[in-house]
Structures are given as structure tokens and as C-alpha cells.
Structure 1
Amino acid sequence: MNLFLAGAEAERVIAELPAARDSSFKDLKSKLKDFSRSIGIEVIGVTHASPFMRLDDVLRERDRDGYRSPFEERDVGLRCDPGRVMPGARSIIAIAVPYATSAGPGAAPFAGNAGKPGFDAQNPEQETSQDPRGRPRGRISMSSWGRDYHVVVGSILQQLSDFLTQNSPRPVRLASFVDTGQLVDRAIAWRAGIGWYGKNCSIFTRKYGSWVFLGEILTDLELEPDTPWAGAGSPEPAAGERYEGGEDGCGDCDICLRACPTGALDPRRPYVTNANICLSYITQVRGFVPRDMRTKMGFRLYGCDTCQEVCPRNERVAPAGLDAFRPRSRDDVAPDLLDVLTMSNSRFKEVYGLTAAGWRGRTVLQRNAVIALGNLRDDHGIDVAIPILKACLDDPRPVIRGHAAWSLGTVGGTRGRRYLEDRYRREDDARVKEEIVAALDQS
């Protein structure tokens, strides 16, 4: 089945479905779901556009605890009220688009091998002890192996919006969002019956686990809402709101909470994330990475999948069929760190411009590559890394020089110390000099 229809092909599929223009809104919802399945999107639900009252309390508590990241909307009231985002909204249509692009069911957890030298995206079971060329490799979150999900999911939402526009019994107003809207995607997905909250704060679907992208359409059409999931992590519903059985929840399992590299997930507070120390955020934020986070980053260049990789619910999930999310090559999954560090801006745009990993720019990925070199522990990899780290000490960008100093202090040994002392005499940036001093102290 073609899972990504465009233009005329989508219009043909719409035309072949039973007309809904003169049908009730209940029929329209049913036909919308039929159309969604016909283009390969099986996980779709509808909820009302009433405010998320319990979520308001949850978000304000996170703010008080200092857990909200700068990427999140500051106005809590706006995040919880669809009617403020789109005045006149009556319903929200939510979808979950799977992205675990594997050869077969159960292969998704092999994403955990992506950062290991020798990982083969086409044959993930096969590993070697080192890259065939002896060059160290980093890790990219599976969410960024293929095309930018904002574009792909946005296109799917556009197809659903076109269907509603063409089949609604009256003119319709619509607004769609993928990840960057003011509302909380997971709260919408839960209330629309798409899945349940996991203790790692991801939404879990029966078929695809938590390896899904979420998106939604706000509309002034009043569609019959689906039933939310129950479960310990589900937001408390409004009075009289129904539940669907929560048999698929996390139960007593807390593997993800204990596996979190930074403590952003805490076994004492399931269903809560401190976004400011989540490695997904740390690998995206600009500037200097806190020193206590650098070792914890390991070989991550963009994002972190740990809490999803270790989850038993994700062990036997169906693979996504959407070609747009498949990696083109091994480098989309486990990039050569030296290649990343020597990329020109034009080359960076060519390689990462159409992926989600490209949105923060070349400097952030190169800074993370410098940190990854500082986390090497094998002698051969370190020998390969030291010359390029030395070159990074002369980079025009202070953030690259500063992190190169940290990495040389960690793995450079006597050579690294000599390079750091030489650079200190020539360095004029106060923050970089501070990094060099700290690196010399640890070398």
C-alpha cells in the first residue's frame, strides 16, 4: 500500500470513497478514518476541543519545579485551551505516524546499536568491533534517520484537511500542527484515544509502541469524540468523561526511568520529565553544554532514544512502512564523526537540510561531534581523534574550541596537554580559556 499519497493520487482516493458531503458529521468522521487508513495512517482519533483542565495543573507544577525547557510555550493557559489557539474550534483530529523503519517486527530496538562502530542500518543484527576504516561514529536519534517529520506528517495532515474540506456538509475551518504548536500533542493524542501515557512521558500505541510522531488538526466541525485511554499516567479526566480499558499501561515496570542517562526521568516521579536535562534537549540547545552532561551524551549527535529502546513494550512493534523515514545510508544512522567535523556549511545543508537533525544548524552537530570524540575509550579511535581535536582548537567559533579543549583534556594524554598549553597562550576568549584551564586540571 502506498503510505504517502500526493496531489492527484490523493484526490483519486478521495473520489473513490463514498461521498460524505450530504451525510451527518458522524458519517464524515467514519469516512475520514476510512480515508486515513487508505493512505496508510491507521492510528487516528477524535476528541473535543474543550480545555485540558487537569493538564493546566500538571504544567504549572512542572514550571514551579523548573522542568520546562525554552522550546516549550511559556503561556500555560494557551497550551491547555484549543479555543485560544483556534477560536471557534469544536473538535481535534489526532494522528500517530509510525517511524520505526526496520526490516521486520521487533527490529526497532536495534536502534540502540546505532552508535556502535560497525552498525549496519540494513542489517542491524550484525556488529563489528570497529568501523571498517577505523573511524569513530556518532548516533542520530531514529526520529531523524529519514526526511524531516515536520514536513512528512504535515503533508499527511494536509491530505486529511483536504478530505474534510471537500466532504464537509458546510464550509470548514482547519488548523494543523506537528510538534511546534502551542498545544500539548501527547495530551491531545491520549484524549483522542490514540494511546496511553508511558512512564517515560511518551504516548504508546498498541501496534507501533512509542515509535510514533504525533500531529493534530483543529476544526470548527463538531465530530463525535473517541474514548480516552485509562491508565496511571493518563491525565485526570473531566467529570463524566469516559475511559477505555487501560490494560496496556506500564504496570510496575520502571526500566525506562532507571535507564535515563541524566535523571531527566526519575523512578520517584514517573510520568514526569525534567526537559532541561533530557539529552534530547541537551543535544539541540545552542552554546556550551554543561560539563556534567558531556560524558552522559556519549556518542549522541542529535536526540536520545534510550527510554524507548529499553522499553519492553517496544520490543515487538510493527515496523513503519513509510519510505520517507528510512535512512538512505549508514551515515544517516551513525555518522562518521570526522566527516561531520570537516563539513562545509553547504555540505551540511546537503546532508542534513531535509532531516529533523538539521534545524539547529551545523555548529550544534559539530559541537556534539567534538564531545563524542572526548568520550572515546579505545586507543585506535583516540589516535584518530587527537589530530582533528587539535585542529578544532583553532576553529573560529569559541563553542567548538571550548569543547575541543574538554575532549583533549579527557582523551588527549600528554599530547593533548601540550596542545592545550599552546592554545591557552594564544586564546583571547574568556570562556574558552576557562575550558582550557579545566581541561588541564583533569588531564
Structure 2
Amino acid sequence: MELNAEQLANLSKQIKQWGSEMGFSAVGISDIDLSEHEAELQAWLDKGYHGTMSFMANHGMMRARPAELHPGTLSVISVRLDYLPADAQFAKTLKNKDKAYISRYALGRDYHKVLRNKLKQFGKKIEQETELNIGFRPFVDSAPILERELANKAGIGWVGKHTLVLHKEAGSWFFLGELLINLPLPADKPIAAECGSCVACMTICPTQAIVEPYQVDARRCISYLTIELDGPIAEEFRKPMGNRIYGCDDCQLICPWNRYAPLTEEEDFSPRAQLKDQDLLTLFNWSEETFLDKTQGSPIRRIGYQKWLRNLSVGLGNADYNPAIVEAIRQKKAELEKSQAFSTMLDEHFNWSLTQQVEKAERAQAMTKQQQRLIRVIEKGLPRDA
């Protein structure tokens, strides 16, 4: 059965209504023409900005050609799902050097699973309601597709200078998902960019990863360094990382549009107590078994125990001097040296952290001696009866 233009227009309205009823924060529809972004994508790859993420280059221009992912695709339904929890006080955690900062999106259940399941149900809902045997395929982040550009075409938001999708009434605290569908649905209109002259996200970036407006060098990005990078983190980025052990939200925290970001109603995105506002030392002292247990169903689990310890050791090196930190690193090092979990990468990061802690202790000791000398000088200069 072939639908006429009026039927397709009515179906589009119904699809948006069904999406809202299923809990999506916004639903938009676009065509599949992304050809204007191919040259930009190739230039980004040619500069090596994807770092060690070979999967970014492996699929060539497939990212800009949805029909190659799902043959027969005629339209893309893009969805937004907000994830900002009601008790989000993460800026406070970021300022506390002894706390472990984990990106907001990773504190709850793995969004890939949550959003993908919702999209599958969404596709089945469309089939059931229309009684049409339509073809569809859901995608969430991990597929080779230009989801931000599709979201822009679908009216979900515009791509900001930090390369995240923004909306006047929603900020950027949301996930994106796509449903590739074999129906020629009428497309929505894109939203005009509203970043203006603002460069707050570029200025605040700890590692200056936003090398120019709308261009991120992933090799400098803390999210890449703590999640995607498998090897050692370059020394030039360790101190700027501070206590960020999984991802980074600085460019979102500073963005003026996020003042209007709505809170999520999705319980799966509520922060887990074992991850939220935890001390660096507490997380560092987890065994591998504890790590796997506490991160079950979380996106954090996929980085593995070694990268978890690598990231935490950088955070501990950046924390204020604490003899408990020095002891914990030495104990962990001795413990892992007897197992197969040890590596030259971990050894390098443990040694760096120990060096940072020892240097801070020496500076504090030198400062104390200087203060004591100053006190003696002052005391000697005072009158006897003072």
C-alpha cells in the first residue's frame, strides 16, 4: 500500500505524538541527504582529529549516507531524550580535588541500551498502528552515522561551536537516537544556529580541544583521553584533567543555553550512589571484581579496569597531598605487579602520580620551614614587653 502526501503528513503528526507518549523529549523528521557534510567529514579525518578511533575512518562516507546502513531508507526520525537528573550538583564535585568527577551522562544506566530499546519499541509501534510492513532500523551513537547533522535537519537543535546539539529550550543535556525508516515522510525544518559570538565553550575547555568553532580535535579532548584512548595519557594533558576520570562536561556546564535545560523523567538516568560524588581514593581501591560489579549496566564498564585505574591515578596525582594517597598507590602497584593486570601503562601513571604527591609534600614542607623562619624574624624584632 502506497500512502499519498496527505496520509504521509498525517502519519508524521501521529509519529510525533506516539514518540511523546513513549517518553521521548522531542521527535523530528528529516530526509537522508547529507552530501553537503561529506567534504567537512573528510577534512576532519585528514587532519587526524579522530585520533586512534579507527572506526571513524573505516566506514568512509557511509556516515553521510544513511541508505547504505539500511537499504531502502527514505526518511530518518530523530529523537531527543533528556538526561539531566534533578539532584545534579556536579560543578561542586568538579571543584573538590579529592572527589572523582564522572560525566553526567555516565552516572546512570547505559544510555545505549535505554534509548535503543525505546527506538525499537517506537518502530514496532509505527508498524502496528499503520498495519504496514515498513522497514526500520534503530541507531544510538555507536553506528557510523552523522547523528548531529540529522538532528539539525530534523529540527531537534543546531550544532554548537563545541559540536554538540543545542536547543533554546533544552540546552544540550540530552541523548540523540535515530530510526531509519522506509517511508517518504515530510521533513521538518532545521533550526538556525544561536551561538552568536559566544566562545565560552572554547575558552573553558581544559585542554583546548575545540581548536576552532565547530571543530574538536578528539586527541586533546578529555572525553577521548579517559574513554577512547587505550594507551598512556600524554603528560601535557594530565594536570589539565584535574579530577575528571570519565568524560568531561566543562563545555556544557559553561554554555548559557543550559540554564534552560529541563530535568529528565527517565529513572534509568538517575545517578548511582556508588558513582556519584565519590572520593577518588574510594574508587581507586576497588578491586577488578568490585569494578565490574559496581559498573554493571553502566557505560563506564566498557573502558575496563586498567583504564579505570589509569584515569583515577591521574586524578590522585592532581589531588592535594595526602599520605593515604601515596600509600594506596604503592599498595595497588605492589598488588598488581603480582598479577596479569599490571602493565607498563599503569606503572607509568602510578609513578607519575607518586611523583606529583611527593613534590607537593616537599613544597608544603618547604613552605612550613619558610613560615617558621619568618615567625622567628618577626618575634626577634618585637619589643620584649609586646
Report the TM-score when normalising by structure 2: 0.86
Instruction: Report 1:40-55 matches (<5 A).
Output: 40-50=23-33, 52-55=34-37
Asked if residue 384 in structure 1 is aligned to residue 327 in structure 2, the reply is: no
2:16 counterpart residue number: 33
The count of residues paired between Structure 1 and Structure 2 equals 349
How big is the shift at 1:169? 4.8
Aligned counterpart, 2:210: 265
- Deviations for 1:102-140, whole angstroms, at most 9, x for unmatched residues? 24xxxx5x42222344xxxxxxxxxxxx9xxxxx32110
Matched, 1:362 2:305: yes
For 2:244, the aligned partner's letter is R
Task: Give the Å deviation of 1:332.
Answer: 1.9
Q: Map residues 103-252 of structure 1 onto 2, 5 A cutoff.
A: 103=87, 110-117=89-96, 136-231=98-193, 249-252=194-197
CA distance in 1, matches of 2:180, 2:245: 34
- 1:273-330: CA deviation from partner (whole Å, max 9, x where unpaired): 111111000001222111111111111110000000011111232111111111132x
- Letter of the aligned partner of 1:325 in structure 2? F
1:58 equivalent among 23, 40, 44: 40
Q: Which one-letter code corresponds to 1:87 in the other structure?
A: P
Cα drift, residue 65 of structure 1: 1.7
Q: Secondary structure at the match of 1:400?
A: helix
Query: Does residue 1:90 correspond to 2:71, yes or no?
Result: no
Opposite residue 90 of structure 2, the aligned amino acid is A
Q: Secondary structure of the equivalent of 2:303? A: coil
Q: Percent identity?
A: 28
Aligned to 2:266: 322
| CA distance in structure 1 between the partners assigned to 2:249 and 2:361 by the alignment | 35
Q: Is the 8 A contact 2:169 2:257 kept in 1?
A: no
Q: Distance in 2 between matches of 1:203 and 1:181?
A: 17
The residue number in structure 2 matching 1:235 is none
Verify the 8 A CA contact 2:99 2:278 in the aligned structure 1: yes
Per-residue displacement from partner, 1:356-414 (whole Å, max 9, x unpaired)? 1111111111111111110012x4xx222010122233223122222110011111249
**TM-fit CA distance, 1:156:** 1.4
Question: Deviation digits for residues 158-206 of structure 1, max 9, x if unmatched?
Answer: 1211111212353111111111011011011111110011111110123
Quote the offset at 1:342 in angstroms.
2.5
- How far the C-alpha of 1:337 sits from its partner, in A, is 2.1
User: Contact (CA 8 Å) 2:25, 2:82: kept in 1 or not?
Assistant: no
Contact 1:101 1:319 in 2 (8 A): yes
CA distance in 2: counterparts of 1:393 and 1:340, whole angstroms: 15
Which residue identity lines up with residue 254 of structure 1 in the other structure?
V
What is the CA distance between 1:46 and its match in structure 2? 0.5
SS of structure 2 residue aligned to 1:338? helix
Q: Please tell me whether residue 277 in structure 1 is matched to residue 220 in structure 2.
A: yes
Whole-angstrom CA distance in 2 between matches of 1:99 and 1:60: 31
Note if 1:404 corresponds to 2:350.
yes
8 Å CA contact 2:44, 2:50 repeated in 1: yes
Deviates further, 140-149 or 347-356: 347-356
Alignment-derived partner of residue 201 in structure 2: 256
1-structure distance, mates of 2:265, 2:95? 25
Structure 2: gaps of 5 or more residues = 363-386
- Of Structure 1 and Structure 2, the greater helix share is in 2
Structure 1 residue 415: Cα displacement: 8.7
CA distance in 2, matches of 1:85, 1:211: 27
In the alignment, the residues of structure 2 paired with residue 148 and residue 191 of structure 1 have an alpha-carbon distance, to the nearest angstrom, of: 26
Q: Aligned residue for 1:298? A: 242
> How big is the shift at 1:254?
0.5
- CA separation in 2, counterparts of 1:291 and 1:59? 29
1:347 aligns with 2:290: yes
User: Residues 149 and 356 of structure 1 are in contact (CA less than 8 Å); yes or no, is this contact kept in structure 2?
Assistant: yes
CA distance in 2, matches of 1:54, 1:68: 20
Quote how far apart the aligned CAs of 1:346 are: 2.4
Alpha-carbon RMSD: 2.0
Q: 2:382 maps to which residue?
A: none
Segment of structure 1 superposing worse, 387-396 or 156-165: 387-396
Q: Which residue of 1 aligns with 2:232?
A: 288
Output the amino acid matched with 1:301.
I
The answer on whether the counterparts of 1:111 and 1:309 sit within 8 Å (CA) in structure 2 is no
> What is the CA-CA distance between 1:347 and the residue it aligns to?
1.5
Following the alignment from structure 2 to structure 1, what is the Cα–Cα distance between the partners of residues 294 and 95?
A: 21
Q: Quick check: 2:167–2:257 contact (8 Å CA) kept in 1?
A: no
Distance of 1:302 and 1:102 partners within structure 2: 21
Q: Is the 8 A contact 1:115 1:334 kept in 2?
A: no
Normalising by structure 1, we get a TM-score of: 0.75
8 Å Cα contact 2:170/2:257 also seen in 1: no
Amino acid corresponding to residue 350 of structure 1 in structure 2: D
